A and B are shown apart, each in its own frame.
Chain A
Amino acid sequence: MGVDGIGARAVRKEDKRFITGKGRYTDDMTAQGMGYAAFVRSPHAHAKVVSIDSSAAEDMPGVDAVLTGEQLVGDGIGNLICGWMIHSKDGSPMNMGAWRAMEPEIVRFVGQAVAVVIADTAAQARDAADAVVVEYEELDAIVDAVAAMEDGAPQLHPEAPNNLIYDWEIGDEAAVNAAFEGAAHVTKMEITNNRLAPNPMEPRAALAIYDTAEEHFTLYTTSQNPHVARLVLSAFYAVAPEHKLRVIAPDVGGGFGSKIYIYPEEMVCLWASKRTERPVKWVSDRTEAFLTDAHGRDHNSVAEMALDADNKITGLRVKTVANLGAYMSLFSSSVPTYLYATLLSGQYNIPAIHANVKAVYTNTVPVDAYRGAGRPEATYLLERMMETAAREVGLSPAELRRKNFITEFPHQTPVIMCYDAGDYSATLDAAMAAIDYDGFAARKAEAASRGKLRGIGLSCYIEACGIAPSAAVGSLGAGVGLWESAEVRVNPVGTIEVLTGSHSHGQGHETTFAQLISERFGLDTDAVSIVHGDTDKVQFGMGTYGSRSGAVGMSAIVKALDKVEAKAKKIAAHLMEAAEGDITIEGGELKVAGTDKKLTFTEVALAAYTAHNLPDGMEPGLKEGAFYDPTNFTFPAGTYICEVEVDPETGTTDIISFVASDDFGKIINPMIVEGQVHGGLTQGIGQAMLENAAYDDTGQLLTASYMDYCMPRADDLPAEYRLSTHETLCPGNPLGMKGCGEAGAIGSPPAVINAITDAIGSNDLSMPATPEKVWQLCQTTTKAAAE
């Protein structure tokens, strides 16, 4: 590999394993005597479970046990929880209904498990699961969140009258009302944010191993945060005490948020392993994933923006209904509140903002954080409003934005966030130059000569990463702290192991984290290994989501490195009889400045462990740990511009160009960052044009396979993404990092939709902008033009 420090485009260390098929995923793990689990799932969106007859299934070949929700509850296994308490505006706590890992009484979404079969082979388990006879009494179902709040709608949980989970607000309503009274112009829009299925390449899986002698569990599972999984499984679900439960998240093939949560299946495997006294494995198939992985987004909003005569924004009023599905998933409550409405100020100086959010139960799979989590919803709403307002007042979309940009930092928004640093004009300028914004009119005319409608759309996004500090999020209702931990272990021969509480499931931590050590000590990245994902190896940590592993996770490593460096320098100074302050580290050596005295890093490490000659009172060894709790969120921001061509005859949209200019603060590995942006943009374009998790009125999922759920493919995307970065350092963490994992998915959907609506001259477009929807709008605009 080599000495690849901060800023090097180092190739990913982990890719050899992934590309040559040597990755070790949960489904690759086996255990002696292992049985397989297959779940019996509800075909109904809402029904009473009248009876479960497992007698035929129990007699089938290879079947070990058929277990039901009644037994699970009887064994004292706890209900699934939501870890973030939200209070309604009247001060009452959110209305949470009970969620059991297998439901004994009332099923509330298609695919909910009511029983599980454990058998010798996966096929036998499946056969027997099909033979379990469940009698249901169907109830009316409701899938639309707005309709679910109406009187007379089917009720999901007795705890939540009218299916309302909370009615929450943020901001100063009176100030907003005053702004609207004095407004010169008001822009109003109804905006929906479509429902998405997360689709990581590797579906969820679990292998639970119960050791009857030690009364100890090991769980291999597809988790983004194994320690949080262990904590929740033990503290809330009472599966086992923490020290009797080891959670290992080995190689994990993507998550996008969906693997943060603790799901019923993983928990049932643990419990079933104890009941059957054998290891139990479960691997989700793709349709089970569509049916049971937490979905993302699903908002219905009405937004109003007040502008003064000078086109300065004076107020923003937002009312949002958020569909949370049939149960409250682990962090679901925080997504449409503190991860959403706190970003409604965008990159703009908006003196007054008020948002009201109603979260609602429906007979659909639970909805929780998905790449971006709340910030894409805020960005989509605000950036469509900006484009629409610009069109209405007759300003160019860039100019309206520029006029309202925040230019001084720190900037306190009216919705909690205090932005620390940024330069929004710089990223806007860079993106406009990259796409040759000034040449657009000529390109549009040329396209028109070919019968094509060309459009251009902007999105100036801001988002918040590294949710923190812990005390602040605690005061907002979070059930956990959001710091990160690290331990840097220097081995006696000078190689280094870094134990991080964050978790890599595609992000490339094994490379970027190693670059940090390479930079600090001048060591080869091959001399560093990154250890993560095993609660028996690594100290407690919070895992990876919310683009936090750089800004928070690496900051913890930096803190631990500081301590290691200080101790190494003390040892070196002692051995070379120099002053500690004169020791410098360079190219893997500790040197006495101004002399030719030096020791290799290995020699110092060895000295620390032989402990034959250490400074007085110094403990042997070279190993330091640190916990890092940030002082603020970080605020990545940038401008995306999309240029499209629409074929009015079919409604087909081609993305001709897509440019992104991002401010991620300090970048460790530009290649990996670009990869993150490519993936994020692709998911954002997918949301804007292709993806939609659709239920019919009875609660059947219409998009339970790739025949109907439209994932973006290479030929749906522009030939290239043109990326650039502009760096303003984040003052809140030692490296100045902001985070890049979600920005692409956050910023891109409004750029795409703004471009299409620009092309077709109609603003009435919702995501996904399918060919049919676009064609229909083209019909109306052509008709209107003819009249």
Chain B
Amino acid sequence: MYETNYHRAGSVADAAALLAKADDGKLLSGGQTLLPTMKQRLAAPSDLVDVTKIAELKGICEDGNAISIGAATTHAEVAASDLVKQKIPGLAKLAGGIGDPAVRHMGTIGGSIANNDPAADYPSALVALNATVTTNKRTLSAEDFFTGMFETALDDDEIVTSVSFPAAAKSAYAKYPNPASRYAMAGVFVAQQADGSVRVAVTGAGQDGVFRVPEMESALASNFAPDAVAGISVSADNLLSDIHGSSAYRANLVTVMAKRAVEAAS
């Protein structure tokens, strides 16, 4: 690791100011991605601005028919939240399946989505649940927020403050983990709204990160049952391929995980 200056921000405004002052500053949340990257000398920020002690970035609350989760809320807190378990059980389950207990007690939703690892779990939930991301500058829809592999719509000096998830009638997440890293090789989040409309979002498999499967969505809108998606496969063309799984294998996993997610949601 290269030398760096550590700052603890007391508020979002304070964090923004510290970031603006720094040569090459970076926000530090749970550090579960950023610190390993720094240890490998793949990142060398001059300053780290820790956002995890900012009260307004922490916690989970009900906001009308939605659940709002502060950016610095850990995966473990989301997994254990009664509110989340009750309103969006798929989201609680997803958070409880990220990494291992140590990672879940440090890593945060804000850090995860800002990083937008194509194998991360959260992006699928944000897209399938049609969440909105609030920053210190604006509010964006999840689909506008995620723009590609490790890419988001965030400006360099922009801070995610919370994510708001509209409650769904039914929701579930099925993940096939990479055997080595345990990130998603294919993770499918299925959400059905009260009006019967359905969103299916896939993480882990796409070359450009999270994507929706419209064919599955319309099939499930008319028949919310595992069989409805069993025969629908995504093209392997734009899927990831590596030593752990070819794009054809990932395409198969997308169908199987979609089926299992629907089964779990029903």
Instruction: Give the B-binding residues of A (Cβ under 8 A).
Output: 123, 126-127, 130, 287, 649-651, 690, 692, 694, 702-703, 706-711, 716, 770-772, 775-776
Q: Which parts of B1-36 form the interface with A (CB within 8 Å)?
A: 1-3
Q: B252 to A775, Cβ gap below 8 A?
A: yes
Contacts of B41 in A (CB 8 A): 126, 130
Within 8 Å of chain A (Cβ to Cβ): is B46? no
The answer, among A123, A650, A694, for a CB contact under 8 Å with B256, is A650
Give the residue among A123, A649, A776 with the most B Cβ atoms within 10 A. Answer: A649
The residue of chain A having its C-beta at the shortest distance from the C-beta of B249 within the complex is A772
Q: A707-B180, A708-B180 are in contact. Are A694 and B249 (CB under 8 A)?
A: no
Q: Is the CB of A710 within 8 A of B256?
A: no
Q: How far is the CA of A130 from the CA of B252 in the complex (A)?
A: 43
Cβ B179 vs Cβ A770 within 8 A: yes
Pairwise interchain contact B176-A694, C-beta atoms closer than 8 A: no
Known: A130-B41, A770-B244, A772-B246. A710 touches B252 (CB 8 A): no
The reply to whether the CB of B253 lies closer than 8 angstroms to some CB of chain A is yes
B181 near A: Cβ within 8 Å? yes
Residue B253 contacts which of A650, A702, A703 (CB distance < 8 angstroms)?
Answer: A650
Asked if residues A775 and B249 are in contact (CB atoms below 8 Å), the reply is yes
User: Which B residue sits closest to A127, measured CB to CB?
Assistant: B2
Q: How far is the CB of B199 from chain A (nearest CB, A)?
A: 23
Query: What residues of A have a CB within 8 angstroms of the CB of B2 in the complex?
Result: 127
Residues of A within 8 A of B180 (CB): 690, 703, 706-711
Residue B243 CB within 8 A of the other chain: yes
Task: Report how far A772 CA is from B252 CA in the complex, Å.
Answer: 10
Closest chain-A Cβ to B78's Cβ sits at a distance in Å of 22
Within B158-207, which residues are at the interface with A (CB < 8 Å)? 176, 179-181
A771 contacts across to B, CB distance below 8 A = 179, 245, 249
Write 21 A-B pairs (CB below 8 A) sorted by A numbering. A123-B1, A123-B3, A126-B41, A130-B41, A649-B252, A649-B256, A650-B252, A650-B253, A690-B180, A692-B243, A702-B243, A703-B243, A707-B181, A708-B180, A710-B179, A710-B180, A711-B180, A770-B179, A770-B245, A772-B249, A775-B249
Q: Which residues of B contact A770 (CB under 8 A)?
A: 179, 244-245
Shortest distance in angstroms between A688's beta carbon and chain B's nearest beta carbon? 13
A708 touching B243, Cβ below 8 Å: yes
**Chain B residues with CB below 8 A from A776, complex form:** 249
A649 to B254, CA, bound (A): 11
B contacts with A, residue count (CB < 8 A)? 17
A contact residues around B245 at 8 Å (CB) = 770-772
Task: List A contacts of B176 (CB < 8 A).
Answer: 650
Per-position binary interface string of chain B over residues 107-120, scored 1 when its CB falls under 8 Å from any chain A CB and 0 otherwise: 00000000000000
User: Which residues does chain B contribute within 8 Å of A130, judged by CB atoms?
Assistant: 41
**Shortest Cβ distance from residue B232 to the other chain A in the assembled complex, whole angstroms:** 14
Knowing that A710-B180, A771-B179, A775-B249 touch, tell me 14 more A-B residue pairs with CB under 8 angstroms: A123-B3, A650-B252, A650-B256, A690-B180, A692-B243, A702-B243, A706-B181, A708-B180, A708-B181, A708-B244, A711-B180, A770-B179, A770-B244, A772-B245
| Chain B, 44-78, CB within 8 A of any chain A CB | none
| CA A456 to CA B180, docked complex, whole Å | 25
Distance of A710 Cα from B244 Cα, bound (Å): 10
Question: In whole angstroms, how far apart are the Cα atoms of A711 and B181 in the complex?
Answer: 10
Minimal Cβ-Cβ distance residue in A for B252: A775
B84 to chain A, nearest CB (A): 24
Instruction: Report the minimal beta-carbon distance from B175 to chain A, rounded to whole angstroms.
Output: 11
Set of chain B residues within 8 Å of A706, measured between Cβ atoms: 180-181
Closest to A773 in B: B249
Residue of B nearest to A711 (CB): B180
Q: Roughly how many angstroms separate A711 CA and B253 CA in the complex, as a whole number?
A: 22
Q: Which 7 pairs between the two chains have the least Cβ-Cβ distance? A: A710-B180, A772-B249, A707-B181, A649-B256, A710-B179, A772-B245, A708-B180
CA distance A287 to B2 in the complex (A): 17
* Chain B residues near A710 (CB-CB < 8 A): 179-180
With A772-B249, A776-B249 already in contact, the answer to whether A690 and B243 are too (CB < 8 A) is: no
Residues of A within 8 A of B243 (CB): 692, 694, 702-703, 708
Tell me the minimal C-beta distance from B45 to chain A in angstroms: 16
Residues of B within 8 Å of A702, CB to CB, are: 243
Whole-angstrom distance between the alpha carbons of A546 and B3 in the complex? 45
A757 and B139 alpha carbons, distance in the complex (Å)? 53
Contact residues in B for A703 (Cβ distance below 8 Å) = 180, 243
Contact present for A690 and B181 (CB under 8 Å): no
Q: Known contacts A770-B244, A772-B244; is A690 also within 8 Å of B179 by CB? A: yes
Q: Which residues of A contact B246 (CB under 8 A)?
A: 772
Please, which residues of chain A bring their CB within 8 A of the CB of B249? 651, 771-772, 775-776
A512 to B68, CA, bound (A): 59
The distance from the CB of A128 to the nearest CB of chain B, in whole angstroms, is: 13
Bound-state CA distance A22–B214 (Å) is 58
Q: Closest A-chain residue to B119, C-beta based?
A: A707
- Minimum Cβ distance to chain A for residue B176 (Å): 6
For A647, give the chain B residue with the smallest CB separation: B256
Closest-CB distance, A647 to chain B (whole angstroms): 9
Q: How far is the CB of B38 from chain A (nearest CB, A)?
A: 12
CA distance A694 to B242 in the complex (A): 11
- In the bound assembly, the distance between CA atoms of A702 and B180 in angstroms comes to 12
Closest-CB distance, A604 to chain B (whole angstroms): 55
User: Nearest A residue to B230 by beta-carbon distance?
Assistant: A649
CA distance A775 to B186 in the complex (A): 15
- Select from chain B the residue with minimum beta-carbon distance to A691: B180
Nearest A residue (CB) for B1: A123
A-contact 0/1 string along B228-266, CB 8 Å cutoff = 000000000000000111100100110010000000000
Residue of B at shortest CB range from A652? Answer: B176
Closest to B255 in A: A649
A649 to B3: give the CA distance in the assembly, Å.
Answer: 48
